[in-house]
Amino acid sequence: MGKLATRLYVEEDLTAGAVVGVNHQQAHYLRSVLRLGRGAAIALFNGRDGEWLAKLEGLGKGWASLAVQSRIREQSESPDVWLVFAPIKRARIDFLAEKATELGCRRLLPVMTRFTAMERVNVERLRANAREAAEQCERLDVPLVEPPQPLAKLLEAWPPERRLFVCSERGSAPPFGDALAKAAEPQPAAVMTGPEGGFAESELATMARLPFVTLVGLGPRILRSDTAALAALAIWQSVQGDSSARPPSPASAEGASEPDLAD
Amino acid sequence: MGKLATRLYVEEDLTAGAVVGVNHQQAHYLRSVLRLGRGAAIALFNGRDGEWLAKLEGLGKGWASLAVQSRIREQSESPDVWLVFAPIKRARIDFLAEKATELGCRRLLPVMTRFTAMERVNVERLRANAREAAEQCERLDVPLVEPPQPLAKLLEAWPPERRLFVCSERGSAPPFGDALAKAAEPQPAAVMTGPEGGFAESELATMARLPFVTLVGLGPRILRSDTAALAALAIWQSVQGDSSARPPSPASAEGASEPDLAD
């Protein structure tokens, strides 16, 4: 069947006959933005059970209940790529969480580097951005957003089978696309971008010696942190990700024209 | 020599011995943000004469004069790719102009499509965003920002030797990266993205019949207009652009840590 224009992420299990609630913001969206009434059809997903058709059963100020009916799409996971990034200022970090989600990133890991100017990260806010972007872009999963951690700690605990592509403006580094094309076969990956001040020479030197790290370049221009992260994710998806898949159905294009919860 | 941290775009010709002025915003930036004094070294570019070392000669409230000394870098042009995009709301269109500039786009063409919600485009504002992003990312040219035009008019006047890659969420379309890899040799190109509502079926059908158009896909997720444009430009640069080049010099990484004029 065609996809539904309205998609919401919920925490609860989704099974035929279940009745689930939505959060305050989603209820407001259904009632006051979309002005839906009882019986309206909505798509629900929780990152585990696929996408389900649900009917709006009860609706009040700040609450809504939905009757789960039948599964529309089987659960699928986004390609296995993570984004490790040095936190940047608010408008840009919101944009980054949204775009990384649209670009199919499975996990977002804020990392504190030597020149990172931001001291705190609103992880809950990033999670909300990721959830809303997932609703919007028709993903069936929502990226995990980790709490920030120091670079040294992140590297110590790094899973060695996951290739870490560090975007470097300094020294010699092959173009990211070439590094990916050379890879024998796709493997779990992560792209890492530094703060606006770049990585410290010592940070790059340390990482360059790690067996799971590949330093890569993104061309001759000095990209902002957020631009570098998005470019790297887009290139990874194009070479090793799911870029050959198509959106679930023509109708889903309307999904992109909706006002999003963030508005 | 190493690159200078402060780079400004000027309109005037740059030759040894010339004395040039900067605009009010740039003068404020030099005086009140960077707190520079007479004799400070600054890099200037105008998109024609390369990059020049200049010394701050006179500085007042809203004005500054710079003595042009010697050329630091020869003029170079960004790769020959344009971005054709349906205007989107303000914060997102600002991001788009900034990111497209960082991603080496040579020309930005706003186009009015059937489902384009925006009626007016602040072209001067987009030009300012492009200028500031060029200063920041160390380009030696600034993308041209055209006034908006209707889709039909744009297509009628399209230069047939320039391949137009239209990002489509509907119907069958090869992944953009594959379409580029298949191309016999690099040719002048443009990527085109629709509004949040997507292209109309009739618009896609019309464009699909044009000899210079290739419909392409960007994967299974429904990307926002700005995300699609940035992803497409990043992929183009990776496959056919200048992604194998490196930033001018290590020192230039500091350029990215400056407060930018937009702040």
* Interface list for A 145-164 with B (CB within 8 A): none
Q: Which residues of A touch B246 (CB under 8 A)?
A: 172-173, 217, 220
Residue keyed to tokens 């010394």: B55
Distance from CA of A176 to the nearest CA of B (A): 8
Q: How confident is the model at residue A5 (pLDDT cuts 50, 70, 90)?
A: confident
pLDDT at B4: 62
pLDDT at B263: 33
Distance from CA of B47 to the nearest CA of A (A): 15
Out of A167-171, A234-238, B131-135, B246-250, which region has the weakest mean confidence (pLDDT)?
Answer: B246-250
- CA distances to A114, A201, A240 from A88, in Å: 13, 20, 27
- Please check whether residue B13 touches A, CB under 8 A: no
Give CA–CA dist A131/B110, Å, rounded.
30
pLDDT at A254: 37
pLDDT at B256: 37
pLDDT at A182: 87
What residues does A217 pair with on adjacent strands? A175
Structure tokens at A135: 């609703």
pLDDT, tens digit (0-9, with 9 covering 90-100), for B222-244? 999 999 999 999 999 999 999 99
What does pTM read for this prediction? 0.92
Give CA–CA dist A121/B1, Å, rounded.
38
Amino acid, single-letter form, for residue B49? D
Higher pLDDT, A130 or B250: A130
Q: How confident is the model at residue B171 (pLDDT cuts 50, 70, 90)?
A: confident
Verify whether the Cβ–Cβ distance A172 to B247 is below 8 Å. Answer: no
Give CA–CA dist B87/B95, Å, rounded.
12
Determine the distance from the C-alpha atom of residue B200 to the mean position of all C-alpha atoms in its chain, rounded to a whole number: 27
- CA-nearest of B172, B183, B175 to B217 is B175
Mean pLDDT of A18-24: 95
- Please check whether residue A250 touches B, CB under 8 A: yes
* Interface list for A 70-129 with B (CB within 8 A): 91, 95, 98-99, 102-104, 115
Q: How confident is the model at residue A256 (pLDDT cuts 50, 70, 90)?
A: very low
- What single DSSP character describes residue B260? P
Q: How confident is the model at residue A164 (pLDDT cuts 50, 70, 90)?
A: very high
Comparing CB atoms, the residue among B178, B219, B237 nearest residue A245 is B219
Higher pLDDT, A182 or A114: A114
pLDDT at B258: 38
- Please check whether residue A191 touches B, CB under 8 A: no
Comparing CB atoms, the residue among B115, B220, B257 nearest residue A245 is B220
Using DSSP's 3-state secondary structure scheme, residue B237 falls into helix
Mean pLDDT taken over chain B: 91
Q: B115-120: which pairs have CB atoms within 8 A and are 24 or more residues apart? A: B115/A257, B115/B86, B115/B194, B115/B195, B115/B196, B115/B197, B115/B198, B115/B199, B115/B200, B116/B86, B116/B87, B116/B195, B116/B197, B117/B88, B117/B89, B117/B195, B117/B196, B117/B197, B118/B86, B118/B87, B118/B88, B118/B89, B118/B93, B118/B195
Structure tokens at B11: 């309109």
Amino acid, single-letter form, for residue B257? S
pLDDT, tens digit (0-9, with 9 covering 90-100), for A228-254? 999 999 999 999 999 999 988 744 433
Q: How confident is the model at residue A260 (pLDDT cuts 50, 70, 90)?
A: very low
Verify whether the Cβ–Cβ distance B247 to A196 is below 8 Å. Answer: no
Q: How confident is the model at residue B182 (pLDDT cuts 50, 70, 90)?
A: confident
Burial class from Cβ neighbours inside 10 Å (0-12, 13-18, 19+) for residue A41 reads: middle
Verify whether the Cβ–Cβ distance A221 to B175 is below 8 Å. Answer: no
Verify whether the Cβ–Cβ distance B198 to A137 is below 8 Å. Answer: no
Mean pLDDT of A193-204: 94
Total Cβ atoms within 10 A of residue B228: 26
As a whole-number percent, the residues of chain A with pLDDT over 70 amount to 93
Give CA–CA dist B247/A137, Å, rounded.
34
pLDDT, tens digit (0-9, with 9 covering 90-100), for B66-101? 999 999 999 999 999 999 999 998 889 999 999 999
Mean pLDDT of A1-20: 85
- What single DSSP character describes residue B30? I
- What single DSSP character describes residue B243? T
Mean pLDDT of A72-94: 94
Verify whether the Cβ–Cβ distance A197 to B254 is below 8 Å. Answer: yes
Q: Which residues of B touch A253 (CB under 8 A)?
A: 169-170, 197-198, 222
pLDDT at A134: 97
Mean pLDDT of B106-126: 95
Whether the predicted pLDDT of B118 surpasses 80 = yes
pLDDT, tens digit (0-9, with 9 covering 90-100), for B172-181? 899 999 999 9
- Please check whether residue A220 touches B, CB under 8 A: yes
Residue keyed to tokens 């008019």: B153
pLDDT at B259: 38
Q: Determine contact, residues B43/B7, Cβ cutoff 8 Å.
A: yes
Structure tokens at B162: 């320039």
Q: If you write DSSP's letter for every residue of B110-160 in order, what string do you get?
A: EEE-TT-------HHHHHHHHHHHHHHHT-SS--EEPPPEEHHHHHHT--T
Q: Are strands B81-85 and B189-193 parallel, antiparallel or unpaired?
A: parallel
Angle in degrees, CA B152, B157, B162, rounded to 5: 110
- CA-nearest of A67, A63, A73 to A29 is A63
Q: How confident is the model at residue B254 (pLDDT cuts 50, 70, 90)?
A: very low
Q: Which residues of B touch A138 (CB under 8 A)?
A: 220-222
Q: Is B176 left (phi over 0), alpha (psi -120 to 50) or beta?
A: alpha
Q: How confident is the model at residue A4 (pLDDT cuts 50, 70, 90)?
A: low
Determine the distance from the C-alpha atom of residue A129 to the mean position of all C-alpha atoms in its chain, rounded to a whole number: 9
pLDDT at B1: 35
- Please check whether residue A144 touches B, CB under 8 A: no
Q: Determine contact, residues B222/B171, Cβ cutoff 8 Å.
A: no
pLDDT at A170: 81
Whether the predicted pLDDT of B262 surpasses 60 = no
Q: Which residues of A touch B172 (CB under 8 A)?
A: 246
pLDDT at B227: 97
Mean pLDDT of B121-135: 96
